[in-house]
Structure 1
């Protein structure tokens, strides 16, 4: 009898674990996919949109090639850490070294991973409302600036690189400067 009770207890625990796993899977399946999975998405206050974005770095799992990598390179250019020619949408060794220097100079861990703290520092330090509707300007050093748009609320952010506008996607590099990526 004791064996059957132990066996019943194991079955009950297994059913409980399975039920919890299935319930979690149903909740995840019913939830909309995170907008951040595709690109920089914003809703509400635009000046805090970047704080919860994905990590961007040279590591393959951190979106090393795309418009968001080009965005970060343009921020580094605006702040004097990269040249205009270095902007190519590929987060390579030059971008990693410049990122570490930028992070150290801004009091952050200089790990080359562009995550929550780095995005937050960049947006709170230098991002302001633009003069046109739904535009924002990142003010770098020496008068260098980057213009961004968030066309609607909510919507994906866009950046101007040269004369082109592109949606800030993590894994697509659509600017002419990104042709080789």
Structure 2
């Protein structure tokens, strides 16, 4: 083995050891993946009051700003009396951002207008299992501080994704990747 090859081999081993040590020390932290985003839908299982704790971030101009996931958040804002039903348009625009700040202030959170983990967890606390007698889905109700309500279905199979009613006969899944054709018509 040549001197050059020996030095290169030793350098690579040293670099690998440094990388492993840094990762093990926690100096480099990679955020945990949001389980529901990887499923593609807002989802949950078991106890409903912990369903939203691993959801993706919703914000104006963000990756999921025009999706059914945003519409589900808007239903929560509607139940809180912070937006009108016509404001449920699947678009995280200035009105949704303002209403989100009002929600955050109402519950003692930092009012940044971004639906992150703390905001989702606060919404979790207002969920209740209304009816689990249906074989295909649980009925879950969000109750706002002033008594307003939003009703969701939580599928019982697979990743247990959430859906919301779009008309008397149809439900739309709370997807992170698409907006319903019903957006703006609730």
TM over 0.5: yes
Distance 1:131 1:152, change over 3 A: closer
TM-score w.r.t. length of structure 1: 0.77
- SS of the residue 1:155 aligns to: coil
Structure 2 partner of 1:10: 11
Distance 2:6 2:96 in 1: 62
Name whichever of 103-112 and 135-144 sits farther off: 135-144
Deviation sequence 1:23-60 (CA, Å, 0-9, x none): xxxxxxxxxx9442311122332321100100011123
* Matching of residues 93-172 of structure 1 within 5 Å: 93-124=94-125, 126-133=126-133, 134-153=138-157, 154-163=159-168, 164-172=170-178
Q: 1:3, 1:155 → 2: CA distance?
A: 57
Distance 1:67 1:10, change over 3 A: same
RMSD: 2.7
Q: Aligned residue for 2:61?
A: 59
Matches within 5 A, 1:23-102: 34-37=35-38, 38-61=40-63, 63-102=64-103
Report SS of the residue matched to 2:52.
helix
C-alpha deviation, 1:130, in angstroms: 0.7
Aligned residue for 2:178, secondary structure, equals coil
Unaligned runs of 5+ in 1: 21-32
Q: Contact 1:166–1:175 at 8 Å: present in 2 too?
A: no
41 and 88 in structure 1: CA distance in 2 versus 1, 3 angstrom threshold: same
Does the Cα contact within 8 Å between 1:148 and 1:157 map onto a contact in 2?
yes
Relative distance call for 1:130 and 1:159 in structure 2 (3 A) is: same
| Structure 2 gaps, min length 5 | 21-33
1: distance between equivalents of 2:145 and 2:165? Answer: 18
Which has a greater percent of helix?
A: 1
Query: Is the Cα contact below 8 Å between 1:67 and 1:175 reproduced in 2?
Result: no
Distance (Å, rounded) in 2 between the aligned partners of 1:84 and 1:104: 21
* Count of residues in Structure 1 that have an aligned counterpart in Structure 2: 163
Matched, 1:176 2:182: yes
Change (3 A) 1:86 1:178: closer
